[in-house]
Structure 1
Amino acid sequence: MEILSVSQMRKADKAAIDAGRPGLDLMQAAGYAVGEAILARWDKRAVVVLAGPGNNGGDGYVAALHLKKAGWPVTVYGLGEKADLPGGGQGDAAVFAKRWRAKVQPLEAALDVIAGLENGDDLLVVDALFGTGLARPLEGAAKILAELLTVSQAQHNAPAVVSVDIPSGLSGDTGRALGEQSGAICFHADLTVTFCRPKPAHALMPGRGVCGEIVVADIGISDSIVAGQGPVSHLNDINVWGEAFPRHDADIHKFARGHVVVLGGETMTGAARLVAGAARRGGAGLVSLAAPEKAFPIYAASVDPGTLTPSFKGVKGFSALISDARKTTCVMGPGAGLGAGQGKTTRAITLAAINAGKRCVLDADALSVFQKDPDVLFKALKAEAKMLGGLVATVLTPHGGEFQRLFPDLARRYARGGTRTKHSKIGITLEAAKRSGAVVLFKGPDTVVAAPDGRTAVTTNAPRTLATAGAGDVLAGLIGALLAQGMPAFEAANGAAWLHGEAASAFGPGLIAEDIIDELPAVLDWLDEMLG
C-alpha cells in the first residue's frame, strides 16, 4: 500500500474534489468511518469529542453526529471561543459544526472531565483537534489534555482515545512529536482512523507506537489519483516484491538457485554460521562459509552438513575463492572482525568482492571499517553498478550506530528533528541510498529500505522479539539468498525483511535467532500459496 506525505494527501483531496467529488462528501465519509470504527469496537459509553478549528474538527463533528444518532451520549468541546466555528464559520467543517445542535463546550472544560475521571471505562475521547494540520507543538488546553491522558494511560485508568487521521501533536511526515527535542508531547491513541492511505507517521516509530490500532478508511479517492501523487513510500508487503520472488521450475539445478559465499571471522564464529543457515533456508542452492585458516577447525566442526567450508588465507585467498563465476553472492560483515589487523582485512575483502562484481550484502563490521572514509566504499559501489550496466547489486544493512558511522550528517539531521519528509527515517535512508549507490536497509522496528532510484518501503511487521542477538545476521543471510536467486536488490531487501518479521511473529515469545531460521519453511510455504 502506498504511503502519502501530508502534502501529497492534501493534493489527492484537491484532485478528488476537482474531479467532481464534493469536499463535503469526503468529510462526511471520513467522519462516518470514525464513528463506525468506534461502534464496531466499544460498547456504548459517554463520548467526549475534542474538535479543532480545521477539517480535522469537521471530521470530529461528523463522528459526533453519527454516534449521537446511534444513541451514544456525546459532548463536543471546541478549541477557541464558544461561538467559534471551524474555519471561521466558513467551509465544509463549519457546515457539519452547524448541524451539531447541542451546546459546544470550550476545550478548557474538558480538563475537569479528564482530571476527575474515576473509571476510564466510562468514557471515550475522540481526538479531532489537529490531525496533520498542525506544524507546531501542542500548547494550552490541548497540551494539558494530552498530558493528562498520558498520565492516566500510564496508571491504566485512561479512557479509550480515538484519533482522527493522526494523533494530534504528531508530525504526519516524520512520526515524531512536534517539538520533541524540547519535551513536547502528542496524544496517544488506542485507535487511529486515517483516510485513503497511511501517512509516514503511521509506519515510522515512534508515531506508529502512539497510533494504537490503525484503520485506513476508504473515503472514495481513486487509486489513479493516489498514483498521480508519486507516493513518498510504500508499506512493505507482498505487493512490493512478490512479482520478483523466485519461482523455480521442477528441473531447477542447485547452481541455478545461486551460490552464496559467507565471510567468516576468526573469533566471532557464531555470526557467520547464522548467516549461512539463513541463506540455506532462504533458498540458495549452495552456501559456502569461507573460513580463515586460523578458524577453519571451528567452522569445519560446527556448521551444518550441507554448508561448504572452504578455507582461505588473506585477501588474495578470498579473491581466488570467489573467482568462480557460479559464486554470485557474498555476505560480509557479521563477526568479520575490526581489531588487531582484522579490520584491515575485512575492508580489503569487502572491496575485493565489490570490485569482482558480486552481489553483496554488507552488514556490521563490513560497514564499520569504512567509518573514517565512507566515500571509498561509495566510489567502489558506484563503479560496480557502472560495470554491471547500471545494476545496483549491493545491499547495506546498518543499524542506527552503523548508519551514523557511514552517514554522520544524515544522522545529525534526524537527531535535530524537523517536520518535513527529509527529516524522517524515510528521507535520510533515501538520501543514504543515493549517496552510496547501494540499496540501504536501515534496520529497526520501522525498517526502511531505499534504492538510489528513489523507491522506498517501510516494514511494519517486525515484532519486539526481534531485539535479540543474531537476528540481524539471519536477515543478512536471507537477503543474500534472495539476491543469489536473482531478485533485484530493492525487492530482495524488502522480501527478506518481511519474511524475517513473519517468521519471528510465527514463533512468538522466547525467540532467539535460530528460531527465525526454523520458522522459515512454514512462512515460505504460506507465501508459495499466496503467490500461486
Structure 2
Amino acid sequence: MAFELLTPGEMAEADRLTIAVGPVDGIGLMRRAGGAIADLVLARYPGARTVHVLCGPGNNGGDGYVVARLLAENGVAVGLFATGAPREGSDAALAAAECPVAAAPLAAFAPEAGSIVIDALFGAGLSKPLGSEIVQAIARTAAVGVPVIAVDLPSGVSGVSGDILGSAFQATLTVTFARKKPGHLLFPGRALCGEIVVVDIGITDATIAATGARCFENDPAWWRPHFPSPANDAHKYSRGHVGVFSGGPSATGAARLSAMAAARAGAGAVTVLSPGAALAANAAHLTSIILRRSDTLQDTLAFLGARKPEVLVYGPGLGPEPEVGRFALELMSVADGRFGALVLDADGITSLSHRRAAFFEARKRPNAPALVLTPHHGEFGRLFPEIAADASLSKLEQARAAARRAHAIVIYKGPDTVIAAPDGRAAVNTNGTPLLATAGSGDVLSGIVAALLAQRMPAFEAACAAVWMHAEAARRFGPGLIAEDLPLALREVVAELGR
C-alpha cells in the first residue's frame, strides 16, 4: 500500500515526470482517469436514469469529457454541461473533441431525482472562491439530493488545506489518482469527500518518490516495523522508564492517567513524581506505578541520577502559571544526557507561552533533549501565535512550521490530528473519533507517546503510532468512553501491533 499525500503541485510534478518518461502522454493519462471513473459509475449506479457531467475548462474538465464519452458509448443517457471551452491545443481540448455529447452552458444544468452528477469542474488545485454560476449549480444539486461523484476532489475544496473556498459539492464518492491529497484528509474538506477511491493511472511509486513528497496518511503499515517488542531477556528498566510529573493535591488525576497509559503502552517502569503535599492522594490510587516525592529541581535531579528514566512527561495537571514554564526550561537546561526525551502537554505548553523567547532559545542548544509537543488548537495558538494567525497556512503547514520553530515533534491535535517533524516529514491521522473529546484523553496520549519513546521507537514514528493507538483504543471501546477507560482499552491494540 502507498501512504504518501501529494499536494496539487507534487501531483502535477508526478504527471509531468510520468509523461516525460513515456510511453503514456497527457491525453493518455486523461483517458485512463476518465475510464476509471466511468467504470465506477457503471458498476455502482447501473440503474441511473441520467448522468449529468459538469466540466470545467482545465484538466479536471478533460477527465469529465472522457467520462461523458465512455458513458454515452455504453448506452447511458448523458447530460454534459460546461463552464467554458478548454484552452485550444490542451489535453482537455482533445478530450472534448473526442466526446460526441454536445455541451450545454452550466446555467442550464437542472438535476432531477434519480440522476447522478459527475463533478469535473475543478480539482485539487483550486485556489480561489468559486464563481456564482458554480455556486448556484452546487445549490441546485444539494436541493435535489442526488449522488455526486467528484473527480479528484469536490469542487470548492482546497487540495492543499481542505478549506472550503466559498461553497463546495457534498460528494458521495470522490475518485482521485495515484495518491490522496491533503485536502482529502483535512477538515472541513474531509467531511465533503464521502468515500474516497484512489485509482491507478500508471504513475509509479518511483515517480511519486521523485516528487519529494514527505507527508503521509498515518497508517500502522509504514511505522509498524519500528514498533517495539520486548526481547526475551528484557527486564523492567530495559523496557524503558517513564517519569510523569504530578500536580498538587487537587490535580493529581491527569498525571495518573498519563502514567497508566505509559505502562499499558509497554514502558517497563513508570514513576509519578509528586509534590509532597500530593503524595497521599497519589498513593491512594497507585499500585504498579512507582511514586516518588519531587518538590524541587534538586529532587528531580536526584531521581534522574538514581533511576535514569528515558523520558519525562511534563504538563498534565500542573497549572498554566509561568512558574510551571520556568521549571520546564530548567528541565531542558539540565538534561545533558540525564534523560533522552521530554513530552510537553497541556499546562506545560500553556505555561511556556509566557516564556516563548527563552523556550525557543533553549531548543537551539546542542544538548537539548528530544521534545514532543501535543497542543490542541488553543494551546497551539498560545505557543505559536504568529503561525496560528497566518491564514495562508493550512493546518498541515502550520504544524510543520511549529516543528521547525521549536525543533520538536508537534502533534497538533483535533479530528484531523497532524504530526510534524522538524525535517519536514508530516502525517495526517484518519482514525480519529469524537469519543476522544472527553476530559483527560490528552493526558493518556502523552503517556502513550512517552512509553514508545522510552522503548526507543524513533520520535516521529512514535508520535504517529501513539496518535493512531489512542484513537483506535477509543474506537474499540465505543460510546460511554471516559479517559479512565483508555489505558485498559489499549491492551488489545498493543497486543495486535506486537504480533
TM-score bucket of the superposed structures, by smaller chain: over 0.9
Spell out the pairing of 1:60-459 with structure 2 (5 A cutoff): 60-80=64-84, 84=85, 86-88=86-88, 90-110=89-109, 113-114=110-111, 117=112, 119=113, 122-150=114-142, 152=143, 158-178=145-165, 184-266=166-248, 267-303=250-286, 305-324=287-306, 326-339=308-321, 343-345=322-324, 347-349=326-328, 351-352=330-331, 355-356=334-335, 357=337, 358=339, 359-383=341-365, 386-387=366-367, 393-413=370-390, 416=391, 418=392, 423-459=393-429
Q: In structure 1, what is the equivalent of residue 28 of structure 2? A: 25
Q: Is the 8 A contact 1:393 1:488 kept in 2?
A: no
Q: In structure 2, what is the equivalent of residue 38 of structure 1? A: 41
Q: Of 468, 478, 493, which aligns to 1:498?
A: 468
1:480 CA drift (Å): 0.4
Whichever residue aligns with residue 97 of structure 1, its letter is A
Report % sequence identity.
44
Alpha-carbon distance in structure 2 between the residues aligned to 1:206 and 1:430: 19
Whichever residue aligns with residue 18 of structure 2, its letter is A
Alpha-carbon distance in structure 1 between the residues aligned to 2:15 and 2:198: 15
Change (3 A) 1:39 1:300: farther
Q: Is the 8 A contact 1:347 1:366 kept in 2?
A: no
Alpha-carbon distance in structure 2 between the residues aligned to 1:526 and 1:71: 49
Whichever residue aligns with residue 107 of structure 2, its letter is E
Q: Is the 8 A contact 1:124 1:160 kept in 2?
A: yes
Alpha-carbon distance in structure 2 between the residues aligned to 1:269 and 1:124: 57
Cα RMSD, aligned residues only: 1.8
Q: What whole-Å deviation, never above 9, does each CA across 1:280-317 have from its counterpart, x for those lacking one?
A: 110000011111111111110012x1111112223322
1:464 CA drift (Å): 2.1
Consecutive unaligned residues in structure 1, runs of 5 or more: 179-183
Whichever residue aligns with residue 261 of structure 1, its letter is G
Secondary structure, counterpart of 2:363 in structure 1: helix
Q: What whole-Å deviation, never above 9, does each CA across 1:194-228 have from its counterpart, x for those lacking one?
A: 10111110121112111111111111001111101
The alignment's TM-score, normalised by the length of structure 2, stands at 0.94
1:514 CA drift (Å): 2.6
Consecutive unaligned residues in structure 2, runs of 5 or more: none
Q: In structure 1, what is the equivalent of residue 5 of structure 2? A: 3
Change (3 A) 1:54 1:338: closer
Alpha-carbon distance in structure 1 between the residues aligned to 2:495 and 2:240: 20
Alpha-carbon distance in structure 2 between the residues aligned to 1:209 and 1:137: 18
Alpha-carbon distance in structure 1 between the residues aligned to 2:91 and 2:462: 45
Q: Is the 8 A contact 1:147 1:185 kept in 2?
A: no
Aligned length: 491
Q: Of 518, 523, 532, which aligns to 2:493?
A: 523
1:239 CA drift (Å): 4.1
Alpha-carbon distance in structure 2 between the residues aligned to 1:435 and 1:274: 29
Alpha-carbon distance in structure 2 between the residues aligned to 1:435 and 1:245: 28
Q: In structure 2, what is the equivalent of residue 181 of structure 1? A: none
Alpha-carbon distance in structure 1 between the residues aligned to 2:75 and 2:442: 52
Alpha-carbon distance in structure 2 between the residues aligned to 1:522 and 1:472: 20
Secondary structure, counterpart of 1:323 in structure 2: helix
Secondary structure, counterpart of 1:370 in structure 2: helix
Q: Is the 8 A contact 2:124 2:181 kept in 1?
A: no
Change (3 A) 1:310 1:133: closer
Q: What whole-Å deviation, never above 9, does each CA across 1:357-412 have from its counterpart, x for those lacking one?
A: 421100011111111221212222332xx227xxx611011111111111100000
Secondary structure, counterpart of 1:324 in structure 2: helix
